Structure 1
């Protein structure tokens, strides 16, 4: 049986039943104490008169907000944010159907309000970010519908980026509308701004590179690199990736050779960039692809194996095995696992076996080298123990014990709750272990822990809670 509609629920249909006169009286009553409501009603009425009148009313309000310098008190911020969104909606929803070109002009002016708000709201101006993100989407859409002259649109895009380094996304989204002529004009303005040392040169450069990618012009992208950047392993790899995609393997190799990472730590050379192993790994991966592209397959394979040997990179190993004949890959994989089991870093070796999906290899590594387990590495050891406990409970127990001992011996009180959970988890899987293989049975281990750390009341309390006591 269908439920009867509730006549008291506030819906558009139910409110319509009140009648125009009653609704008008209610709105007048609300507007009497709310300036934002009154402004909204006035704009709605102005929109009924015509596009020019509505545009003029919006201009007045935009000018008033733009000129204001007073701090917006936190009590007034919600109403102010609502008004901003109302202004955007009035332009997009009411003025666009009446005069799209004028609406687009006012939407650019509305966007110009963004930076001034930080001086009036501080960090609270972030509450308006969603409104301006929607504004950027509206601008990109309306620019296409209004069919603006490419040169005019390029000018507006440049001005937006010149005053707001967050406008890069908007400028790039205008690419389909700008056309070849507009993109060329924008590129010229951006290049001139960089040459003049504009404050937002970094943003100009980022947009130039994105425009080059959109054009599929790898040479234009490379032309934006400074001599120092061209020697940077990250930029060199990025340039080489684009050259490889364009079928220019030799040029890719040249870009990589010019940016070859030094043997010593990259970060010692590029301190400001705080480069890490990922940069070196990316450079090596692209270099291997470039060697392959120019037919130097044996060198590429040798580099893949050398990369794996030095870092236990699963990507390098997968690429290496994928290029071997059938059955040879099985022998090579066994050789790789044997190398990983002897790798100097126990934790890197464990991470490899887990990433490779070889839980048996991981368990064997743990039991063979359990004295090398560093118990503070929770990010690796906790998920490893969880994955191993079903089939290899003894290995999982060894990992958990390393964490327990590390936390308690070093009095890491912030980890006592986690340590108590590790004790409980170890106790839960202890019955499934029939051969302790040199490890203390759980009962003995737990007794020794309690004796050794009897003067750690916080840990004991956490353990009691974890055990449901």
Structure 2
């Protein structure tokens, strides 16, 4: 037998309970409440207009957009929540009520709303980012509607919007590009590249558009030859060339930014940039030089103790060889000149038994941040409590020396609790 609802539950404001009031009573309450709530009254008027047809809704939306574009009054912290909800309600009406019957009209209003963002944002302090989040959703909606239409006209409209406010579009372009086709992005890229208003500040936007088109040449063209000598830039361009199946060109780009050999008084060559090195290894693989790629992975691991490099190396080895390579990596980490770097690799792998042995053997070298010591001790405490206890004690002593007594007391208490257990 179903449980009868309590009086308290029947008084909760839920859709089910409100239905019991009946349509007439709810309409009276809404009308009375709207008299003191301008944003609610505006929303109800728009909903009523939508019932009369898209052209009537468009007229009400235009009135509100005009008001947002021309209003200069500051929005106080008390008004902020209602104001943001009002802008969000306007977005929802355009997308949910107008876009269905009139997608072109809805897109035109979304362009207008985005164009007013700078003026709207200037009227209030968006401390929690709620208004920016609304305009992020507006950008997604623009992308959705652009994707439904013609790529040529849509790309032209996007290019014009970006040219009118390149600074604003630097932060809102990604949601749009996530929705539109490469063809539309290409149209926007071509138009912006030929725009007489273009400046160097547009390059990041052109680069993102080129990425969205999948055109490696267009992406490369956004960098100067001098910029391509930067290892991280060369890596970005090379990876796109590799994705396009152009390994020879990728290799030339990478070679142009390769680390320099030791010269003069320097006895050691410059260490490669991590991104460049990753791209170089990918190029070796794509060029069929798998043994060289493996050698580069291992050399990188020996130099950096990168768990990512070690995993990439080990998983390409045949059975049994991978176990031997893992143990070799563990031994190198345990003997590494920097205690924290070596222990971090073992904990992240994870190789807890090897980490515990390293702590017991080299505990005097342990100079760890308190947060790392606590996190690693928590992983070790069940199977290797002695090692966990030693880590906590060493971290507590380091905290005491730097006069951080609160941290020292906390770590000491954890170590004592571990001993008691």
Per-residue CA distance 1:380-430 (angstroms, 9 max, x = gap): 32222222233333322221221111111321134234224333234325x
Give the match for residue 441 of structure 1: none
Question: Contact 1:194 / 1:204 at 8 angstroms: preserved in 2?
Answer: no
Aligned residue for 1:153, secondary structure, equals helix
* Alignment correspondent of 2:256: 258
Equivalent residue number for residue 62 of structure 1: 65
Distance 1:14 1:357 in 2: 54
Q: TM-score with structure 2 length normalisation?
A: 0.84
**Which of residues 178, 181, 185 is equivalent to 2:187?**
185
Contact 1:212 1:221 in 2 (8 A): no
- CA, structure 1 residues 85+319, in 2 after alignment: closer, same or farther (shift >3 Å)? closer
Are residues 1:166 and 2:189 paired?
no
Task: Tell me: CA distance 1:194–1:231, structure 2 relative to 1, closer, same or farther (3 Å).
Answer: farther
Residue aligning to 1:381 = 373
For 2:234, the equivalent position in structure 1 comes to 236
Partner of 2:363: 370
Give the count of matched residue pairs. 406
> Could you give the per-residue CA deviations for residues 145-183 of structure 1, whole angstroms, max 9, x where no partner exists?
4x3x4443223312433422222124313522xx73x44
After superposing the two structures, state which structure 1 stretch, 255-264 or 408-417, moved more: 255-264
- Kept in 2, the 8 Å contact 1:384–1:396? The answer is yes
Structure 2 counterparts to residues 13-412 of structure 1, below 5 A: 15=18, 18=21, 20-124=23-127, 126-145=129-148, 147=149, 149-162=150-163, 163=165, 164=168, 165-176=170-181, 180=183, 182-193=184-195, 196-197=198-199, 199=201, 201-213=202-214, 217-262=215-260, 280-324=273-317, 326-375=319-368, 377-412=369-404
Do 1:65 and 1:113's aligned partners in 2 also have CA atoms closer than 8 Å?
A: yes
Bigger radius of gyration, 1 or 2?
Answer: 1
Residues 1:175 and 1:3: Cα distance change in structure 2 (over 3 Å) = same
**Distance of aligned partners of 1:371 and 1:194 in 2 relative to their CA distance in 1, 3 Å threshold:** farther
Deviation at 1:16, TM superposition (A): 5.2
Query: How far 1:344 moved relative to its partner?
Result: 1.3
Task: Give the CA deviation at 1:233.
Answer: 1.8
SS at match of 2:74: coil
Provide the rounded CA distance (Å) in 2 between the counterparts of 1:224 and 1:76: 44
Distance 1:351 1:9 in 2: 53
Structure 1 CA distance, aligned partners of 2:128 and 2:152? 32
Q: CA RMSD in A?
A: 3.0
Distance 1:97 1:297 in 2: 54
Provide closer, same or farther for how the CA distance between residues 310 and 184 of structure 1 changes in structure 2, counting only shifts above 3 A: closer
Closer, same or farther: CA 68–12 of 1 in aligned 2, 3 Å: same
Whether contact under 8 Å (2:159, 2:191) holds in the other structure is: yes
Describe the shift of the 1:288–1:42 C-alpha distance in structure 2 as closer, same or farther (beyond 3 A): closer
Structure 1 97/311 Cα, relative in aligned 2: closer, same or farther at 3 Å? closer
In 1, Cα distance between equivalents of 2:326 and 2:23: 79
Cα distance in structure 2, aligned partners of 1:14 and 1:371: 68
Quick check: 68-77 or 21-30, which moved more?
21-30
Secondary structure, counterpart of 1:292 in structure 2: helix
Q: Taking structure 1 as the reference length, what is the TM-score of the superposition?
A: 0.76
- Report if the CA contact (8 A) 2:377-2:387 is conserved: yes
Contact kept, 8 Å, 1:171 with 1:207, in 2: the verdict is no
For structure 2, which runs of at least 5 residues remain unmatched after alignment? 263-270
Cα distance 1:423–1:195, how it changes in 2: closer, same or farther (>3 A)? same
**Which blocks of at least 5 consecutive residues in structure 1 are unaligned?**
265-276, 430-469
2:276 and 2:365 map into 1 onto residues whose CA distance is 31
